[in-house]
């Protein structure tokens, strides 16, 4: 049975590749492009550019444009509409599906993989020693390693260039259908003679054809340079690195809405001037050099906001508060009324007002702390359905401004709202902080009474071997309780050992540790 499946897979892999690559997703915030050698963790096809890291995603523009394109949807990337709906499934009464199979037969086929897409064996597409050009699509997060892809994505100011994917799309955040059509025509006309495809970013809205074409030509030239470097270097080697963080922020975020760009370093100031002059000359006059003696972060209140962003509790203006806790699996946000009692006699009104205020602050903290993955918000329970809908509408409106791809699920039976948000890098807390070496990241240590209980247990184990005076070295907090006259812990210890005990406090000793000898 296994041999037949392998033959079927090989037969299918020999067929033309089609357009499945159109639906693949990458990170448009392209990090590093490197040349790898001999990796066996990469899945690809030999007759075309290896498809490494097919689950890697574009940034929001890439992801959203893929949804808007009919060809991308037909590539079958996992949206519900691509699964064929209920038409091909056996119904509840056990009737046959379109292939004439019964309910049990269909379930059996699905279990054996007959209805699933053919999987490609890694040994069929990659060989040891084969050179592959790959890009870091997602940096390492926690225990997870970096995600790489051979579908390169080069982000520019107005477009994202994908030299290995024949796809043209426009960000869904572009307002009108007329503007989307205009941008799509500009991409179609500008990509003639260039391999691969392009996706228009939100910043391209309202830009002229010449500006967008210039960005496309720049990225195409960059891709040719990357390929030339890859041919000259021996793998493994770094052949291209994206812009540094300052230039990347300017490229992706800077718009006419910004009044001033303050810089407190002269060398960096000169670099920023040259960079802004090259891609947005009209904003050069807004770049200013900060020369005041006070630190720039203190002047603009950034230091205070950073300190707040690292604390779990965030107070609301009304007197309520939210508590944010990050775990390995998810992020939990709990909403509480705190000191807020409300001006109305109805408790429901107080709860709704607190929840609505918590929505704005929670979304702000999600962006500020760059929280990602699964985020669960525990709002205060509301009895009325219309109030729950009001809170959901407020959450939808606040999240619309988020650049990261996200999805919001409705209130469940427990009053929880789940948000999934794309995570491409470490959160602010994980970036600026490290696990506490004293509690080893747990947030708790054993209390003094627990440690004393362990000392008494250890004394019972060694009591038969004790001869003469016994020395006990403990943390000062434990020693203070042992020597106190308000308890009889020391007398109990001496009774167990049948010997006098000398207690010594050692400030260098961990509170949970002790030395009984």
The whole-angstrom separation of Cα 203 and Cα 173 is 10
- DSSP states along 406-421: EEEPPP-TTSEEEEEE
- DSSP states along 82-127: GGTTTTTS--TT----TTS--HHHHHHHHHHTTTSPPPPPHHHH--
| Phi–psi pair at 377, nearest 5 degrees | -105, 120
**199-236 pLDDT, tens per residue?**
999 888 888 898 899 889 989 999 999 999 999 988 88
Among candidate residues 159, 157, 189, the one with its CA nearest the CA of residue 171: 159
pTM: 0.63
**168-194 pLDDT, tens per residue?**
999 888 878 899 999 999 999 988 888
- Res. 506 pLDDT band, cuts 50 70 90: very high
- Res. 99 pLDDT band, cuts 50 70 90: very low
The whole-angstrom separation of Cα 511 and Cα 479 is 10
Angle at which helices 209-232 and 177-190 cross, to 10°: 50
**237 vs 73, higher pLDDT:** 237
**89-98 pLDDT, tens per residue?**
444 444 434 4
Q: Which CA distances in Å does 46 have to 28, 133, 513?
A: 25, 13, 59
């Amino acid at each position: 049975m296994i041999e037949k499946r392998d033959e079927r897979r090989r037969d299918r892999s020999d067929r033309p590749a089609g357009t499945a690559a159109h639906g693949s997703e990458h990170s448009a915030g392209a990090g590093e492009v490197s040349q790898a050698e001999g990796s066996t963790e990469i899945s690809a096809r030999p007759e075309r550019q290896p498809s490494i890291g097919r689950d890697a995603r574009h940034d929001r523009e890439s992801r959203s444009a893929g949804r808007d394109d009919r060809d991308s949807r037909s590539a079958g990337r996992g949206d519900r509409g691509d699964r064929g709906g209920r038409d091909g499934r056996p119904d509840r009464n056990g009737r046959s599906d379109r292939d004439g199979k019964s309910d049990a037969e269909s379930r059996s086929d699905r279990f054996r993989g007959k209805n699933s897409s053919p999987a490609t064996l890694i040994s069929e597409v990659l060989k040891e020693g084969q050179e592959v050009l790959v890009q870091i699509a997602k940096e390492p997060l926690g225990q997870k390693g970096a995600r790489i892809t051979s579908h390169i994505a080069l982000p520019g100011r107005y477009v994202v260039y994908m030299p290995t994917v024949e796809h043209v799309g426009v960000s869904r955040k572009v307002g009108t259908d007329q503007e989307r059509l205009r941008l799509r025509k500009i991409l179609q006309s500008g990509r003639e003679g260039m391999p691969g495809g392009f996706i228009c970013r939100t910043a391209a809205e309202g830009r002229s054809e010449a500006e967008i074409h210039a960005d496309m030509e720049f990225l195409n030239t960059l891709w040719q340079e990357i390929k030339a470097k890859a041919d000259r270097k021996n793998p493994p080697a770094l052949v291209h690195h994206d812009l540094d963080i300052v230039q990347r922020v300017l490229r992706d975020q800077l718009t006419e809405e910004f009044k001033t760009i303050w810089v407190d370093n002269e060398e960096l100031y000169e670099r920023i001037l040259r960079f802004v002059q090259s891609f947005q000359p009209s904003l050069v006059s807004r770049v200013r050099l900060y020369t005041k003696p006070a630190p720039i972060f203190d002047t603009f209140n950034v230091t205070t906001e950073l300190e707040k962003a690292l604390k779990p509790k965030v107070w609301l203006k009304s007197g309520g508060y939210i508590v944010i806790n990050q775990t390995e699996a998810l992020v939990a946000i709990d909403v509480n009324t705190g000191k807020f009692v409300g001006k109305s006699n109805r408790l429901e009104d107080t709860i709704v007002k607190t929840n609505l205020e918590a929505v704005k602050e929670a979304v702000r903290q999600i962006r500020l702390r760059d929280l990602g993955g699964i985020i669960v918000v525990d709002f205060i329970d509301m009895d009325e359905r219309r109030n729950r809908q009001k809170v959901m509408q407020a959450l939808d409106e606040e999240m619309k401004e988020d650049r990261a791809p996200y999805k919001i699920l409705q209130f469940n039976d427990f009053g929880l709202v789940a948000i999934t948000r794309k995570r491409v890098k470490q959160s602010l807390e994980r970036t600026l902080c490290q696990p506490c070496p004293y509690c080893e990241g747990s947030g708790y240590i054993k209390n003094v009474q627990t440690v004393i209980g362990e000392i008494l247990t250890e004394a019972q184990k060694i009591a038969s071997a004790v001869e003469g005076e016994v020395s006990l070295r403990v943390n000062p907090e434990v020693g203070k309780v042992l020597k106190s006259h308000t308890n009889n812990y020391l007398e109990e210890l001496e009774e167990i050992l049948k010997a006098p005990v000398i207690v010594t406090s050692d400030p260098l000793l961990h509170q949970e540790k002790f030395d009984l000898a």
